[in-house]
């Protein structure tokens, strides 16, 4: 897919104050670690994630999506009446119905003619929403659209810890399927896209490439499960096969991406990938022949924040000056399924928020290569 009229105008985001380190998780997992004689520091060593964040208990995803959406609107400086589509794209939602986007739409004061709905596509939900909004803009059906989402990891992390400590049948081998659940973090992000005629930045979204290698759909499955008469949110992941399948899917999609964008790998000045962990990042960049020095990452201090991971990482890269005018930026998204979405952006101008969104503890955090 190629675009001539779409601009990636602005981001908004919000982050929790509560920090949960990998060391603290291992402390909570003391019964399991003692039973299996697991070495301390294992979780951070294999994931590259030293900490992740948690929203306050009982918070609804829409609450932070409203915050992030409002910040994106304010940063873009756009009249909300011009927004013709609102998509809520995170895995986490308030309810099965109505669409979480409805509450966000109401509190942002968006017009009644604004298309409003949820999109679910695992870690690609926000990027899939961006493609849908871009298509609406390219067709001339809307002037601007907002994609928002909030991931809340608390229930999954806490349920996983409880299940691991309670299951005395686990072995060093079988416990591997739960490790990915302990890397999940919480965050919220929003992305504003506009028609170039009303853009203040001219940050042109020029191309998109999409693939679905759905034969891998069983490699990562999560949902509500019965645990001894009570319900718990749990996820099972075959991390090794998911990594191999993800690399193959990413490579195939990237070849399409190069064709659609007209770039070569040397033309990619900046890359933003889905934030899984250290091994995934290293192997993905190697397979695509992209330099780690040109890639911005947040997983060491945010963990894997699902559908929010790539948008919030790009927002922070923009805010910290990592992305500069005339940079060719590759947004390289991948999610369980296995699905892949890659977007090409010709960056021209950064619209920065009026103030910092980050808790003080994060102000010193920098990207690592």
Q: CA-CA distances (angstroms) from residue 59 to 54, 69, 298?
A: 10, 17, 23
Question: Catalytic residue at 81?
Answer: no
Annotated active-site residue in 92, 102, 123, 340: 123
Give the DSSP per-residue string, 40-71: TTHHHHHH---EEEEPPTT--HHHHHHHHHHH
Task: Please name which of 274, 135, 138 lies closest in space to residue 196, comparing C-alpha atoms.
Answer: 138
H helix runs in 139-270, sequence order: 154-166, 176-179, 239-261
Q: Rounded CA gap, 117 and 113, in Å?
A: 12
* CB 102 within 8 Å of CB 116: yes
E runs forming strands in the chain: 6-14, 18-21, 51-54, 83-88, 115-118, 144-151, 187-195, 204-212, 220-227, 230-237, 270-273, 295-296, 328-335, 339-346
* 168 annotated active-site: no
- Residues 6 or more apart in contact with residue 199 via CB below 8 angstroms: 7, 9
User: Catalytic residues, which ones?
Assistant: 97, 123
């Amino acid at each position: 897919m190629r675009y001539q009229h779409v601009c990636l105008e602005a981001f908004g985001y919000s982050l929790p104050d509560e920090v949960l380190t990998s060391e603290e998780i291992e402390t909570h997992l003391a019964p399991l670690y003692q039973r299996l004689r697991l070495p301390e520091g294992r979780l951070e060593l294999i994931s590259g994630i030293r900490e992740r964040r948690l929203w306050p208990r009982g918070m609804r995803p829409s609450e932070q999506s409203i915050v992030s959406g409002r910040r994106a609107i304010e940063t873009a400086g756009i009249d909300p009446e011009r927004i013709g589509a609102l998509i809520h794209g995170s895995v986490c939602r308030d309810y099965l119905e109505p669409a979480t986007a409805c509450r966000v739409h109401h509190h942002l004061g968006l017009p009644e003619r604004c298309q409003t709905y949820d999109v679910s596509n695992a870690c690609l939900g926000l990027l899939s929403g961006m493609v849908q909004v871009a298509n609406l803009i390219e067709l001339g059906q809307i002037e601007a659209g907002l994609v928002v989402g909030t991931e809340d990891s608390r229930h999954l992390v806490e349920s996983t810890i409880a299940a691991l400590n309670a299951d005395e049948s686990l072995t060093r081998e079988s416990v591997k399927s739960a490790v990915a659940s302990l890397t999940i973090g919480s965050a919220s992000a929003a992305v504003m896209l506009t028609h170039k005629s009303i853009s203040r930045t001219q940050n042109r979204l020029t191309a998109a490439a999409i693939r679905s290698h759905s034969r891998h759909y069983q490699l990562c499955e999560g949902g509500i499960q019965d645990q001894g008469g009570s319900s718990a949110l749990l996820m099972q992941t075959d991390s090794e096969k998911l990594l191999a399948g993800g690399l193959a899917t990413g490579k195939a999609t990237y070849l399409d991406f190069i064709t659609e964008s007209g770039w070569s790998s040397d033309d990619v000045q900046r890359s933003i990938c889905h934030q899984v962990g250290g091994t995934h990042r290293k192997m993905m960049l190697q397979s695509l022949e992209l330099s780690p020095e040109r890639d911005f990452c947040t997983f060491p201090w945010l963990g894997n924040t699902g559908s929010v991971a790539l948008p919030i990482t790009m927002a922070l890269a923009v805010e910290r000056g990592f992305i500069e005018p005339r940079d060719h930026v590759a947004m390289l998204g991948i999610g369980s399924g296995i699905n892949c979405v890659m977007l090409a952006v010709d960056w021209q101008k950064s619209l920065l928020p009026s103030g910092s969104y980050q808790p003080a503890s994060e102000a010193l955090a920098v990207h690592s290569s």
